[in-house]
Amino acid sequence: MRSPSVSSVPLSDSIGAEFPKIVLENLSDENTRAAIRQAWLEHGLLLFRNALSSADTHLLLSRVFGDMEPSATAHLNSVENPFLMELRQTPNNPKARRYLVGGEERIGFIGWHWDQAFMPKIVRGAVLRMVEPAHSGGRTGFIDAIAAYDRLTEDMKLRIADLEVVYEFSPAMDTVRGYPHDVVAAHPSEPSSVYNFPPVVHPLVITQPETGRKVLKLSPLHSRYILDMDRAASDRLLTELADHLTDDRYAYNHRWDRDDVLIWDNWRLIHCAEGVPEGVARLGVRTTIAGDYNAGRYLDPTLDPDNPPERFDD
């Protein structure tokens, strides 16, 4: 029976659970930690409002869910602590990528994805706290890929059961599938960074190990094509599945306040960053929960997923 100190309420009709911040005062209690982990498996997304203001507590909370690892996008990691990834939007930053989304220019927009889809090992989750919320825009959206799988027709479930998708890092989002459809680079430019993320392969359907539930494991961002399928047919199927998966009717879009904390299961959820208008500042800090469902691999069979190439410097 769950202790009253770790009781929660639904975060939305579609996804997640919200906990009172007092729970974080009891993280040394293993019963509390176990209850939080169980809620994470059950709901996929946990929210603590106005709950974290220090890096030390952030790291302590992250360890409830497993070991941490530095983000693969290493240039974003804090120089003081590589386990802390800084998601910063600075007003009038000339290096920031700008996109037109529905005709509106945004900085920091990132389409629907799961973290590190371009790596052979997929991290288990993330813990994101908001240090400086945006005064305009800046929401983070989440969709449950278990529920999305359940909404597929039985014919589609059979059709995709054994398919695999090739992913490759797409820093400028040159391949954007799913909603919104009207995303274009506002100021296209030549790439200024050298990236070394070789293509990887992941199954289109995985099973949540703790529950046996099926997951529509598609990252619309970074997806390139379905392995061993005609490219035109692959594009049609990926477009259909991405539109199904990113249906905004089933999304939870979080509007951040200072010190809010969101924790998500990266094997189950996809998420997106709304971005902010020009001139708006925002700073979030994220930890990455290590893990691997042991189903991904490099497309090149000579590459060892346990010894990935040097990542990149942006």
Structure tokens at 48: 């603590």
Nearest of 308, 296, 284, 260 to residue 69 by alpha carbon: 308
pTM, to two decimals: 0.91
Phi, psi of 39 (to 5 degrees): -65, -35
CA distances from 272 to 3, 221, 240 (A): 33, 10, 19
Phi, psi of 130 (to 5 degrees): -100, 115
Burial of 184 (0-12, 13-18, 19+ CB in 10 A): exposed
User: How many other CB atoms are found less than 10 A from the CB of residue 269?
Assistant: 24
* Domain contains 161: yes
Nearest of 268, 100, 96 to residue 185 by alpha carbon: 100
% of the chain exceeding 70 in pLDDT: 91
Residue pair 225/139 in contact by the 8 Å Cβ criterion: no
Residue 234 is classified by DSSP as: H
* Domain contains 307: no
Nearest of 248, 268, 212 to residue 65 by alpha carbon: 268
State the greatest distance between any 2 C-alpha atoms of the chain, in Å, as a whole number: 57
Q: What is the mean pLDDT of residues 248-259?
A: 96
Residue pair 142/264 in contact by the 8 Å Cβ criterion: yes
* Domain contains 159: yes
Query: Which residues have C-beta within 8 Å of that of residue 21, sequence separation ≥ 6?
Result: 48, 49, 50, 51
* Domain contains 308: no
State the pLDDT confidence band at 2, using cuts at 50, 70 and 90.
very low
State the pLDDT confidence band at 130, using cuts at 50, 70 and 90.
very high
Question: Please, what is the average pLDDT of the chain?
Answer: 89
Quote the number of domains for the chain.
1
* Domain contains 306: no
**Domain CATH code at residue 239:** 3.60.130.10
Structure tokens at 255: 């509007």
* Domain contains 314: no
* Domain contains 311: no
For 179-235, how does the pLDDT look when each residue is reduced to its tens digit (9 = 90+)?
888 888 776 555 545 567 899 999 999 999 999 999 999 999 999 999 999 999 999
Q: Residue 240 above 80 pLDDT?
A: yes
For residue 3, the model assigns a pLDDT of 44
* Domain contains 313: no
Residue pair 32/26 in contact by the 8 Å Cβ criterion: yes
Residue pair 66/35 in contact by the 8 Å Cβ criterion: no
* Domain encompassing residue 283: 4-301
Query: Which residues have C-beta within 8 Å of that of residue 291, sequence separation ≥ 6?
Result: 66, 122, 123, 124, 125, 267
216, β-bridge pairs? 205
